[in-house]
A and B are shown apart, each in its own frame.
Chain A
Amino acid sequence: MHNLDAAGHVRGESQYLDDIPVQRGTLHAAVYGSPLAHGKLLSLNLEAARRAPGVVRILTAQDIPGENQIGGIVPDEELLAGSHVHFQGMPVALVLAETEPQARAAVKLITADIEPLPIITDPREAQAKGELIVPPRTFRLGDPAAAWAECAHIIEGTAENGGQEHLYIETQGAYAYPTDGGGVRVHSSTQGPTAVQRHTARVLGTGMHKVEIDVTRLGGGFGGKEDQATTWGALAALGAFVTKKPVKLVLGRHDDLRMTGKRHPYTSDFKLGLSADLKLLAYEVTFYQNAGAAADLSPAVLERTLFHACNTYFIPNVRATAYSCRTHLPPNTAFRGFGGPQGMFVIESAIAKAADELGVLAWEIQRRNLLQDGQVFPYGQRVEDCNAELSWQAADQKFELKKWQAEVDAFNQQSPVRKRGLAVMPICFGISFTKTAMNQARALVHIYTDGSVGVSTGAVEMGQGVNTKMIQVAARTLGISPKRVRLETTNTTRVANTSPSAASATADLNGKAVEMACRELRTRLLRHAAEDLKMNYEGLEIQDEQVLAAGKPAETNWEKLVSTAYWKRVNLSENAHYATPDLWFDQTQEKGHPFAYHVYGTALVQATVDAMRGTYDVDAVRLVHDFGQSFTPGIDRGQIEGGLVQGLGWMTMEELIYNQDGRLLSNALSTYKVPDLYSVPKVLDVEFLETPGHPNAILRAKAVGEPPLMYGLGAYFAIRNAVRAFRPDVRPEFSAPFTPEKVLLNLYAARESAAAPAASQASGAEASVRN
């Protein structure tokens, strides 16, 4: 089945935030962001802006009727800067004008008197100065200190990864208007309607019941609209609340790029011990997360890094410590993978470094250490239904790893300028919100008297196809055609207290709730049928809209059944609540059972480097992925392909560059590059690994949103191997992304030093570029 939203998309009829017809009198908002990354806000000069054409009102922190606070996990983030600014672009004032160009023009007339304070952009510096968002955390397994003595080889090093801009094509935005009784309704481009509702109510000093959030769909989210949509929703609501007029706030791309947080950059130290036969015996790792200026979701991201510190390998002795470091960058946030990719990059770097030093191929180490049932993760959960070996072996057989490696080696023998590299990237990713309480969802299902069905959930459609999945679940459970089912907007008045659409768990959680509600309705309808038609309830079912009794068509079908049930005063609505069973985590011990299940897979990645120019192609990615029992294979394949390419982008061309003043230099699509059509691998094979799935997965189809992103890490190591094919004496530092710049500097590193300095960020350049 195709994505049911697709027809509207291709006709240009699907409605996004900026497409909502504006009401008469709507004011347009633009945000004045701090020009400095850190300082004391002494005064704000708004006079010129107030006199500018079309300007109706300018709001600052003083205009907030409630609490000036939008911090989710930690209350450390103001909506509008009060006495201090903490990052460049931090919202300071909101201009409301009759048109959007007028609002933008007025913003340019605002000046601020800010007393500069020291700026930190480096997480290690922040950690050294005690600037931590939350106390550090450590996961432990076995006794690494004792295990070093047993290790034949000990490898130490450092790995760094850059951030990543979400680059949803639809920028952030919200449209708010006053409602009857002193409330406000906000159309928000958010993954977390309840978060927008909660924080807006707090800012307005009113109850959550007076703030209604409605979401139709997002033009991409990827985590960037999980917590970070709150600012814009709350600002628009504030404007509407204060002026009693509709207020629309849609960020221009440049504002979106400089004002919002991104995937967290990390810098990490590792120490890896191996036995003589390449078994991983001990691993110590310290992660320094660049959290930016406020907590946002950083503590949760940090936690997921720790959960994924060993990727898909069993290491009996582990000590993993993580620091969330406060710097003066925009608060970094969720991004597909949510800290997992950062954790995996370090262990893969450690293995690559071990391979360099031991003179073996990295995959010889990887394959000897894959997780197996009965082992235990460093966080105490037992390994069950493990498909690490299965997916590796399937990939090995289908794609002939040894033969492929031999072909790459042979190519490199005869090709002096173009060099190839092959890398294997196996993954293991835990499914569930690691905050156990968030693993709950509700669904509200109405059957109308004509037999059509309306389904409301807490799930937000952002391209992942969750609408189609919910409709499939409802239609299958009720035994009717998907054409009868409509998925409603996500609205806080219909489904309350929702968890954000995140953690790959949206379809599982909301789908289970839909399934429960529809089961209850089916049972109710069939009990009615049994009574109405004097049939035995046992053996009644609905298939293809026909009621069957012991497999034979009965005297009624779906439409008649619904209609007669209504006249018998049967409740045709149901609200179901689902909470994932058996989850727990004890943070005092850092042990528990945080995940409903794990998703596995193995990717083989080949890259070719042009040693003349330092450019490269990722030629081929061939992977085997553990889908469980996919019931929407087209959508699920799309998630794999799209997630993989985002991962490739993060590892290759996507480079966020901040200068020492905390200013984003790659601040436009002309300087921040995401993969285009020509940069994706020519060969991209996705093989479905048939597994039984998991009972906690919706219809046994495993979650598919985040895991494939991590296959993209393979590109980094494939490029690195290709560089080493040209310069075997060079051991490139582990510093992602592997831009053409880093490739070229490594290819021509001085012979004696044998490792190029990592390309340092542009130091305080006046202009971001000379275009």
Chain B
Amino acid sequence: MLQFYLNDQLVRPTLRAGSTLLDYVRYHQHLTGTKIGCREGDCGACTMLVGELQPDGAVRYQSMTSCLTPLGNAHGRHIVTVEGISQPAGLTPVQEAIVAEGGTQCGFCTPGFVMSLTGHCLGGQATDEAGRAAIDGNICRCTGYKSLERATDRLTAQLLERDAAPERLAWLVEQGFVPAYFQQMPAQLAELRAETVADVAARTGGQLTEPNGTETTVASYLLGGGTDLLVQRADDVLAAEVQLLYGHADRCFIRETPDGRISLGAATTVEDLRGSELMQRRFPRLRQHLKLVSSTPIRNMATVAGNFVNASPIGDLTIFFLALDAELTLQDAAGRTRQLPLRELYRGYKQLNRQPDEQLVEISFRPPAAHEVFNFEKVSKRTHLDIASVNSAARLRVADGRIQEAHLSGGGVGPTPLYLRRTSAFLAGKDLNPDTLRAANEVAQQEISPIGDARGTEAYKRLLLRQLLFAHFLEHFPAQFALQELV
């Protein structure tokens, strides 16, 4: 049975696992503080907090857009809406800060901001920057954000006190950030977990494919964070049997393997990746690069594997990992596995080299070595929380003024995410100079085939790919070039 805490109440919805958390909360629980703005994770009006018990016994709260959260993913968790943080009377410090700074006008987006900021206060770093990042998935059409920035900054000083307090959650409760029942949640979620050791998916209407092959039912949809499927086919998913990735600890890991590679579980979220110390060590600019990928709540939900199998020609993570020559492990219904380079996953627009019963279970890649550099570039109409017009990644090994090895990828310039095979091959062994790069661009222009669409004309995408190709080198070898020499 699907069960979770909704604010301070244990609930057992009988709806399908693929319905949205948002609809359940608004239309079945009549908790109308959470608003519907876009139903595609692009506005944040429906933001809720999702609390999950951690191995250390604490509950970690993350903001998520409930319009894209499959109800089944709430299983065993603590779902918090604006009604669940408001005190019987008066305002929480987050609410007070927004009121005092004039951070609400029409008020429709406001509960989303309140929830994102409350999540920040529960677990975020006490810096203005972290506070602002917490609300980067919330769109406000009225205020122009400055008042919300002021409200956010006002909280930073209070959060420094939080960090000095002996017990964080007790301090937050004492200060009125969250009601007292939050202190019961770790124990209550632990109890819930003990009751529900069996598989989540089996309890929520879907069938889990067991590695031993005893279960052969294949669900219509394998749902991860829901951030693509519920945007594209919400009505279909609602009607279908779904299989949930959530709850599979064995699919959510980031680890170094003995051969020096890094291995990711398919359910690893973008934010898991971004927060990983191992990844940060190997990719010093990782946090900036992945900040260009959607928004905080979406990164909390979206999985790396989901980005790959969605097969978008401009999938940011796909472009990132194509340049790293990632290798995929696919597993079929019988539990048989095979390896496939990511570069060979795509056959055409939204066409995958994959059997219907095969799932992507693991991703493995060799991180850049000490003598290599890695760069990721993305240009979109809006810098953040947008889909790229063109994106590109590069892994380069340069020594003694010569390019030893180059691996370039480009998104938005063809029907699939492209590994720029010919350009990469062309660059290998060439001297690093403007002539080489100009010539490489000539090669690249031959192997791309962008179309004009809402994200730009063909001419623009071609020009932009050239610029991003140059940018990889100018970012890492600024002393060797000036932009003006290249264009």
Contacts and interface: CB of A to CB of B under 8 A. Distances in A.
A8 interface: yes
Given A167-B141, A416-B484, A614 B467 contact: yes
A611 B107 contact: no
Contacts, number: 266
Contacts of B104: 3, 5-6, 9-10
Interface residues of A, number: 89
B384 A678 contact: yes
B386 A673 contact: yes
Given A169-B108, A220-B141, A653-B381, A11 B35 contact: no
A15 B111 CA distance: 12
Interface of A is mostly: loop
B107 A612 contact: no
A765 B35 contact: no
B314 A771 contact: yes
Contact of B457 (A13, A16, A760): A760
Contacts of B45: 169
**Of A643, A665, A762, most B-chain CB atoms within 10 Å:** A762
Given A253-B39, A677-B145, A10 B102 contact: no
B95 A679 contact: no
A2 B470 CA distance: 51
A104 B238 CA distance: 13
Interface string A481-506: 00000000000000000000000000
A2 B100 contact: yes
A703 to B, nearest CB: 16
A677 B135 contact: yes
A67 interface: no
Interface stretch (A338-346, A433-441, A461-469, A572-580): A461-469
A10 B106 contact: no
Nearest to B92: A10
Given A11-B82, A12-B34, A253 B108 contact: no
Contacts of A222: 141
Given A613-B377, A673-B381, A677-B145, A11 B33 contact: yes
Contact of B483 (A6, A21, A169, A417): A417
Contacts of A416: 482-484
A765 B139 contact: no
B452 A669 contact: no
Contacts of A760: 457
B375 to A, nearest CB: 12
A676 B102 contact: no
B114 A676 contact: no
A495 B238 CA distance: 44
Contacts of A765: 451-453
A684 interface: yes
A450 to B, nearest CB: 22
A463 B115 CA distance: 20
B235 interface: yes
Interface stretch (A517-525, A561-569, A631-639): A631-639
Contacts of A611: 483
B239 to A, nearest CB: 9
Interface in A4-29: 5-16, 18-19, 21
B460 interface: yes
Nearest to A464: B105
Given A653-B382, A668-B40, A678-B136, A645 B349 contact: no
B389 interface: yes
B351 interface: no
A10 B484 contact: no
A6 B238 CA distance: 36
A383 B95 CA distance: 45
B285 interface: no
Contacts of B110: 9-10, 12
B173 interface: no
Interface stretch (A42-50, A227-235, A274-282, A741-749): A741-749
B415 A770 contact: yes
Interface in A735-771: 739-741, 744-745, 748, 759-760, 762-763, 765, 767-771
Nearest to A678: B384
A627 to B, nearest CB: 15
A593 to B, nearest CB: 32
A665 B453 contact: yes
Interface in A601-642: 611-615, 634-635, 637-638, 641-642
B382 A770 contact: no
A684 B146 contact: yes
A11 B385 CA distance: 26
A109 to B, nearest CB: 13
A101 interface: yes
Contacts of A744: 460, 463-464, 467
Contacts of B415: 770
B323 interface: no
Given A613-B468, A684-B144, A253 B37 contact: yes
Given A615-B383, A745-B459, A745-B463, A3 B102 contact: yes
Contact of B383 (A219, A612, A679): A679
B100 A219 contact: no
B149 interface: yes
B208 to A, nearest CB: 26
Contacts of B471: 612-613
A59 B453 CA distance: 36
B169 interface: no
Contacts of A5: 104, 107
A465 B105 contact: yes
Contacts of B380: 673, 740
Given A7-B91, A10-B95, A170-B108, A680 B144 contact: yes
A669 B463 contact: no
B238 A101 contact: yes
B382 A679 contact: yes
B36 interface: yes
Contacts of A641: 143-147
A12 B111 contact: yes
A614 B462 CA distance: 13
B306 interface: no
B421 interface: no
Given A104-B235, A676-B382, A768-B453, A219 B312 contact: no
Contacts of A739: 381
B371 to A, nearest CB: 25
B81 interface: yes
Interface string A443-475: 000000000000000000011110000000000
Nearest to A16: B108
Nearest to B106: A463
Contacts of B10: none
Contacts of A645: 143-145
Contact of B379 (A169, A615, A678, A769): A615
Contacts of A680: 144-146
Nearest to B455: A769
A464 B104 CA distance: 10
Nearest to A14: B107
Given A11-B91, A219-B108, A416-B483, A740 B235 contact: no
A253 B38 contact: yes
* Interchain residue pairs A-B with the least CB separation, the first 5: A12-B33, A463-B106, A219-B108, A9-B107, A645-B144
Given A684-B146, A762-B457, 4 more contacts: A21-B30, A674-B139, A676-B385, A768-B453
23 contacts: A8-B107, A10-B91, A10-B111, A10-B114, A11-B86, A168-B141, A217-B106, A219-B108, A219-B109, A253-B37, A253-B38, A417-B483, A611-B483, A614-B464, A615-B379, A645-B145, A655-B381, A669-B38, A677-B145, A678-B383, A740-B379, A741-B456, A769-B453
Interface of A: 2-3, 5-16, 18-19, 21, 101, 104-105, 166-171, 217-222, 252-253, 416-417, 462-465, 611-615, 634-635, 637-638, 641-646, 653, 655, 657, 665-666, 668-671, 673-680, 684, 739-741, 744-745, 748, 759-760, 762-763, 765, 767-771
